[in-house]
């Protein structure tokens, strides 16, 4: 799986899945530039501070990156315990702005990898609201628009990941003239510092995931898929979502469709 000599941007590189993604990439010879609101403890090839809740900080962080990247891993995210406007800003509005501002600094053939979630599985049932959110959401209206679309605290994390999955599919062809592809991966519960937030707030859904699977995933099991999507080995994978959940998505589908 070759990522050797590739330059890869990893958001959320200070913790959990992002940290592990950065570690594996470097182990395999990539040059990793981490973006996070917290400084990573690990020694990366570069680190640029960014607050994905703040458009000014995002633009400044992108300006501060002077190179060209072969892959962009959008891993940073907030759990459902955070306030609605922050969840929607970091998990989608900020991620999108960061990605769009970074496009000029992506090399031809670059890969964009968005870490979504099993929580985004129900996107098709909310498609009208998702389309509106993608079309209209920005930092200054994220609160009002979420309220208008009926997105409450319980729903916001699910909705943020549904939106991210749809935005990923929607853009499969957007930068095709430069060979830039985009995919999402969707973990189920993962052993990271925010696992307990998920278990506390997602209730029955998360409890069932844990019951059926018997354990949470490890960060390395998710990061391996992110690294694969950065590599040229995944060159024909575009505009899709890869479940990295030990089988939970298949389990949910079986329940819905009765197989
Ligand atoms: P984590 O809390 O260990 O790491 C998240 C990283 O994002 C942290 O380094 C944090 O500083 C950074 N971050 C948060 N807000 C930020 C902001 N405003 N600006 C810049 N950086 C910010 O979490 P974990 O578990 O590694 O999560 C990574 C991604 O995986 C998230 O998108 C999450 O939604 C997703 N995910 C996690 C699951 C889990 O069970 N842990 C399950 C499914 C998806």
What is the per-residue pLDDT across 135-155, written as a single tens digit (0 to 9) for each?
999 999 999 999 999 999 999
Tokens of 94: 């900020």
What is the position in ligand 1's atom list of the atom closest to the CA of 91?
32
Q: What is the mean pLDDT of residues 215-240?
A: 97
Residues with CB under 6 A from ligand 1: 12, 14-18, 36-38, 50-53, 75-78, 90, 115, 117, 187, 189-190, 192-195, 198
> Which protein residue has the closest C-alpha to ligand 1 atom 4?
15
What is the position in ligand 1's atom list of the atom closest to the CA of 161?
34
Instruction: State the distance between the two ends of the chain, measured CA to CA, in whole angstroms.
Output: 35
What pLDDT, on a 0 to 100 scale, did the predictor assign at position 251? Answer: 94
Lowest mean pLDDT of 19-28, 131-140, 157-166, 203-212, name the range: 203-212
178-215 CB burial, b ≥16 within 10 A, e <16? eebbbbbbbbbbbebebbebbbebbeebbeebbeebee
Tokens of 127: 């498609």
What pLDDT, on a 0 to 100 scale, did the predictor assign at position 1? Answer: 59
Q: What is the mean pLDDT of residues 2-14?
A: 97
Q: What is the mean pLDDT of residues 54-64?
A: 98
Q: Which residue's entry shows tokens 């570690």?
A: 23
By annotation, the residues acting in catalysis are 157
pTM: 0.98
Q: What is the mean pLDDT of residues 121-145?
A: 98
Pocket test for ligand 1, best of 20, 40, 77, 95 (most atoms within 8 A of CB): 77
Q: What is the mean pLDDT of residues 82-107?
A: 98
Q: How far is the CA of 187 from the centre of ligand 1 (A)?
A: 12
Q: What is the mean pLDDT of residues 116-139?
A: 98
User: Residue 199: pLDDT above 80?
Assistant: yes
Q: What is the mean pLDDT of residues 58-65?
A: 98
Q: Which tops the pLDDT comparison, 203 or 221? A: 221
Q: How far is the CA of 195 from the centre of ligand 1 (A)?
A: 10
User: Residue 103: pLDDT above 90?
Assistant: yes
Torsion on CA atoms 165, 166, 168, 170, rounded to nearest 10: 170
Instruction: For domain 7-257, give the CATH number.
Output: 3.40.50.720
Q: What rounded mean pLDDT belongs to the chain?
A: 96
Q: Which tops the pLDDT comparison, 204 or 160? A: 160
Q: How far is the CA of 115 from the centre of ligand 1 (A)?
A: 9
């Amino acid at each position: 799986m070759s990522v050797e000599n590739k330059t890869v941007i990893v958001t959320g590189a200070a913790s959990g899945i992002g940290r592990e993604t950065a570690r594996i990439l470097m182990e395999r010879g990539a040059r990793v530039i981490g973006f996070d609101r917290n400084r990573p403890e690990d020694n990366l090839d570069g680190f640029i501070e960014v607050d994905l809740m703040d458009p000014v900080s995002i633009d400044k962080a992108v300006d501060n990156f002077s190179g060209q990247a072969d892959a962009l891993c959008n891993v940073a995210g907030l759990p459902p315990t955070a306030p609605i406007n922050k969840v929607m800003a970091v998990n989608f509005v900020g991620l999108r702005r960061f990605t769009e501002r970074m496009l000029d600094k992506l090399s031809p053939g670059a890969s964009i990898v968005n870490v979504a979630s099993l929580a985004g599985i129900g996107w098709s049932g909310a498609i009208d609201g998702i389309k509106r959110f993608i079309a209209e959401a920005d930092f200054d209206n994220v609160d009002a628009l979420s309220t208008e679309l009926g997105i409450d605290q319980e729903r916001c994390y699910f909705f943020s990941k549904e939106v991210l999955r749809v935005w990923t599919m929607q853009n499969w062809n957007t930068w095709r003239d430069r060979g830039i592809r985009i995919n999402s991966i969707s973990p189920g519960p993962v052993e990271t510092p925010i696992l307990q937030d998920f278990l506390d707030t997602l209730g029955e859904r998360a409890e069932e995931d844990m019951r059926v699977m018997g354990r949470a995933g490890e960060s390395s099991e998710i990061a391996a898929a992110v690294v694969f999507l950065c590599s040229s080995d995944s060159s024909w994978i575009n505009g899709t979502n890869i479940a990295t959940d030990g089988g939970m998505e298949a389990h949910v589908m079986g329940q819905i469709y009765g197989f």
